[in-house]
Amino acid sequence: MPLFEIETNAHIIITWAEDEQAAKQVVDEAYPSDELIRMTKRPRDSWVISKGALGLSTPTVDPCGVARDCLSKSSGDKVHAIRLYRQETGSDLETARKVIESNMVMGW
């Protein structure tokens, strides 16, 4: 039985079904108010989700290297460097502030 990936305006559904009509029926029964956006018949019978895409992996990133790069891009402007650091790493404001200020003291 084929595996279908179905995207609606509110959900992404992975289901087995005999054909596209049966897959659409699964969505209609489970989420009748959802609007179907996309339906894809998967080429294999398994589904894989990247942990990195979900933010669950622990990449080896040198926070000081990223901070120095952000300070360089911002020409030493601390507030702008903090914004850049948050964008690069997804860190919260307090963590970004500590890392940037620590690297400013070290003379980035």
Which candidate, 6, 3, 78, places its Cα nearest to that of 47? 3
Tell me what pLDDT residue 60 has. Answer: 63
| Beta-bridge mates of residue 39 | 6
Confidence of residue 51 (pLDDT cuts 50, 70, 90): low
Mean pLDDT of 15-34: 94
80: tokens are 């702008």
- Domain residue limits, the chain: 3-41, 63-105
- Asked if the model's pLDDT at residue 105 lies above 80, the reply is no
Question: Which pTM does this prediction carry?
Answer: 0.45
**Span 78-87, pLDDT tens digits:** 999 999 999 9
